[in-house]
Structures are given as structure tokens and as C-alpha cells.
Amino acid sequence: MAKRKMKFVCQECGYESAKWLGKCPGCNSWNTLVEEVEASHSNNRHTLSSGLKTVSKPEKITAIESEKEPRITTSMQEFNRVLGGGIVPGSLMLIGGDPGIGKSTLLLQVSSQLAEKQLPVLYISGEESTRQTKLRADRLGVTSDLLYVLAETNMVDIATQIEEIKPSFVVIDSIQTIFREEVSSAPGSVSQVRECTGQLMKIAKTNGIPICIVGHVTKEGAIAGPRLLEHMVDAVLYFEGERHHMYRILRGVKNRFGSTHEMGIFEMKEKGLREVMNPSEIFLEERSQGAAGSTVVASMEGTRPVLVEIQALISPSSFGNPRRMATGIDNNRVPLLMAVLEKRVGLMLQNQDAYIKVAGGVKLDEPAIDLAIAVSIASSFRNQATLPEDIFIGEVGLTGEIRRVSRIDQRVQEAAKLGFKRVICPKKNLDGWEVPKNIQVIGVDTVQEALEVGLAR
């Protein structure tokens, strides 16, 4: 009997080594190399030859007919928006999130809505039994006969059931529990995740069946397993939010059939998730009137403008090294903007602690929020409140200038719809579009001008 060869594979990036290493040379992660059985050369030749049975010939791109795929739409408009208008047939989607955030609840509700449209759906759970899934379905009010539930972890049996039922939508919950018998490593390892995802992708593309797989996340918040998993799928969605808060955010990170960085807002209720059609009202409903350090910014999340409150608290430091803390924005952006305010405006902030927060648990990363952060810091430092009907939009440069931002017309229209009276934005954004009648748009060139307009009393 031939001796089995062993190898060590990194569970983060897939790096292979002949011996165990404490630190992976590929991704610099510690204690991630796990011992696995190396596949024999005969199995490799068999897999390679079986994958080359059908040889396709290259075609001229001008000779290929372009057809628009009809999308499968659910009853959740927020879910459809994140995917770019609906589910594309034959697509492979990956959704990740913290444990207990509501991934299974969301996908069970989506499966129920598709089943109510007379589309057969197969929900495969590798972590729960069929009775446990039934308990969740009873709580959510799922009563469709076209929703099939399967508790299975063997990839061969899953492929057989998909072939027999021929569903219109498949959910795999989760990919870390699925295994193939040909691969000797444990379920959830790099080899198992790679092989099972590859077979699911082949099933989806060959039969035109959209498949949504659930992926566990690491303690850093990234989807567990190799980055190859995110490269193989067509769309990557993150389900975010605090477990003890009622609002959830579905964010698109990758989408081959639509725009990325789309965001859908949901509210967790006793009977499942309910979509929030106007998230700006949710984020501003508890805003304090007349409080220093509070501003509102119109941020673009994909194709949707969202109004969010930014809060700043500036207090004298008790130590030699002042603290700079931020929640919801990049930590490096706060000292940069404070340096601009100190150098260009003359605010003595070098001995002040700064605490910045984006209310509502939203994460903002676009440069158009720079002006709102800078005005919040100056408002708290001077203890002067901004007008509650003002909105600040603009990118701040290191020389103190306010730079142009994109889609200013959509941002202003969203502000006018919610009753705001003034928008302070870059002066270079004032041309080429029509301002709504019930709102005033003020153009500024520098941070000093924005503070004179926003903090004038």
C-alpha cells in the first residue's frame, strides 16, 4: 500500500508547505497551517482529463449575440437593489456576516417569496436539521409547498437532489459544512471549500440555476477561507449590523451584474426582517436639535443617497498624547482633517481629544464626507451649533480647499425631500444641473468659508 503524502495548507490564503510553519509566508498569518493529505497524481490526471471532455472553440466577440438575461425578482426591493435589479439566472452568490446577525432568516424569507411566485426553491442546511429549519419557518410564516428543505453535507448527494428537483433557486447554508469524499481534509478547510465551490459553480453555470452560499466570517470580519472563494463567485454580499440593535445593512462588495457598494437597510422584527424604504429618516430620527458638534452629510451608497448624522466631541486632553478615535469612518481621516483645521483655519487642536462617530452604525468611506467631519470638529471645539436645516457636502484638500464631488444633484434632491433648507457644497459643483425650488445651495471654495457660513450666528 502506497504511503500517503502529507502537506500543510494555510486556511487563510491556501499556501502549501511540505512542513509545518508557525507563520504563513503567503499572508503572514500565525498558526493557520493545517495538515492535509496530498491528492495522488492519478486522481489529478483523472480530474484534469474529465474537465477537458468538452472543448469549446474561440469565437469573435463581434459574432457573439448579446442577450439581456431576465432577472428573478423577489418581494424585497432592498434585496433586489443590492443585486443590481434581481437575481441573475446561473449566478453564484456569497453572503457573509457575523453569527446570529440574520443571514439564514434573510435567505429563508427570500426563498419563501420566490416559492410563492411558483418557483421551486431548495434550501440546504448543513448546520440545522429539517425540524429546526421548520421552527424558523413557522416563526416567519413560511407556508409554501414549493420550498424544499434538505439537511445534507455531502456534495454528491446535494448535486443529486439538485438534479432531481431542478429548482429555480438554491441556498447552501453554509459552505464550511459541505464536503466531498474525494478530498481527505476536514469540512471547512481550504481544499474542501475550493472543491465544493467549484462544483457548485459548475452546477449553476451549466443548468442556469442561481445558487446562494453562506460563508462564515473571521474575527476580523472577513469571510473565512481563502480569498479564492470571493474570486470564484459572481457577487459578494455582507450582512452587517449589531446583534443587539434592530437595524441590519446588506452591502454589496462585488457584483458582476450590477454596481458595487449598494446598500439595503432592513429592520429585524419578531416575524423576520422588514425592509426600510427610506433609511435617511431612520438615521436622523433621534438627532438632537441645537447640539454643538452635530452635522448632516448626504453620502452616496451605490446609486442611493443616504443622509447620515456625524457627531464630534472635542475635549481638552489630560495626557501629553491626545486621543483620536473614530467610529464609522477611517481612523486616519480624523488627524488629517484636524491638521487642516489647525494649519488653515487656526484652531488650536493639538492638545484636544477628538471622538468622531457616525450615528446609526453606518460605515462611510467616500471623500465627500470630509467637510461634514471638519465642520463637526470645529462646531464642538467652538461650542457653536450648526443650523438643523443645513447639510455639508465636499472633499477637503490638504491646502484647505473644497473639492468637487460626484452626483451632487441626487444628494441635494434627497436633502430637499426630507425638508432641509440649505446645502453647503463645493462651488465647482454648482454648474450643469437644476437646483430644487425649496432648498438653497451655497458654494464654498475653502474650509474657512464653509465655517463662516455654517457656524455664523
Dihedral of CA 84/89/92/94: which sign?
A: positive
Cell of 432: 450643469
Is 103 marked within a binding site? yes
pLDDT of residue 227: 66
Whether 351 and 318 have beta carbons less than 8 Å apart is answered as no
Whether 402 and 371 have beta carbons less than 8 Å apart is answered as yes
CA 201 from centre of chain: 21
Pairing of β 147-150 and β 121-125: parallel
| Spatial separation of the C-alpha atoms in residues 348 and 361, rounded to whole Å | 30
| Spatial separation of the C-alpha atoms in residues 233 and 192, rounded to whole Å | 16
With cell 432568516, the residue in question is: 105
Percent of residues, the chain, with pLDDT higher than 90: 57
The candidate with the shortest Cα–Cα distance to 233, out of 96, 433, 401, is 96
In a 3-state reduction of DSSP, which class is residue 396?
strand
Over 60: is that where the pLDDT of 193 sits?
A: yes
What's the CATH class of domain 77-277? alpha beta
Over 80: is that where the pLDDT of 224 sits?
A: no
**DSSP assignment, residue 244?**
T
What's the CATH class of domain 282-454? alpha beta
Report phi then psi at 20, rounded to 5: -75, 140
The candidate with the shortest Cα–Cα distance to 295, out of 270, 322, 329, 264, is 329
The candidate with the shortest Cα–Cα distance to 258, out of 88, 411, 410, is 88
Is 96 marked within a binding site? no
Over 70: is that where the pLDDT of 218 sits?
A: no
Amino acid letter for position 214: V
Is 353 marked within a binding site? no
Is 17 marked within a binding site? no
pLDDT of residue 45: 38
Percent of residues, the chain, with pLDDT higher than 70: 92
Beta bridge partners of 296: 309
pTM over 0.85: no
Better pLDDT: 195 or 45: 195
pLDDT in tens, 17-58: 888 999 988 888 888 888 887 765 444 434 433 443 556 789
pLDDT in tens, 88-105: 999 999 998 888 889 999
The candidate with the shortest Cα–Cα distance to 133, out of 154, 113, 118, 147, is 147
Over 80: is that where the pLDDT of 225 sits?
A: no
pLDDT class of 371 with cuts at 50, 70, 90: very high
- Non-local CB neighbours of 132 within 8 Å, separated by 6+ positions: 125
pLDDT in tens, 408-453: 999 999 999 999 999 999 999 998 888 998 899 999 999 999 999 9
Is 431 marked within a binding site? no
Domain limits of the chain? Answer: 1-40, 77-277, 282-454
Pairing of β 352-358 and β 304-316: antiparallel
- H or E element, residue 17: strand 16-17
pLDDT of residue 8: 87
pLDDT of residue 379: 95
The DSSP code sequence of 412-426 is HHHHHHTT--EEEEE
Biggest CA-to-CA distance, the chain? 88
The candidate with the shortest Cα–Cα distance to 196, out of 206, 185, 207, is 185
pLDDT of residue 26: 83
Per-residue pLDDT, averaged over 331-350, amounts to 94
Pairing of β 422-426 and β 440-444: parallel
Over 80: is that where the pLDDT of 13 sits?
A: no
pLDDT in tens, 118-161: 999 999 999 999 999 999 999 999 989 999 999 999 999 999 99
| Spatial separation of the C-alpha atoms in residues 221 and 240, rounded to whole Å | 10
pLDDT in tens, 51-84: 435 567 898 888 888 777 789 999 999 999 999 8
pLDDT of residue 106: 95
Is 99 marked within a binding site? yes
Whether 293 and 311 have beta carbons less than 8 Å apart is answered as yes
Burial label for 284, CB within 10 Å (0-12, 13-18, 19+), is middle
Burial label for 127, CB within 10 Å (0-12, 13-18, 19+), is middle
Over 50: is that where the pLDDT of 350 sits?
A: yes
Across the chain, mean pLDDT equals 87
The candidate with the shortest Cα–Cα distance to 220, out of 198, 238, 245, is 238
| Spatial separation of the C-alpha atoms in residues 271 and 246, rounded to whole Å | 12
DSSP H helices in 297-369 = 333-340
pLDDT of residue 443: 96
The DSSP code sequence of 160-219 is HHHHHH--SEEEEE-GGG-B-TTS-SPTTSHHHHHHHHHHHHHHHHHHT--EEEEE-B-T
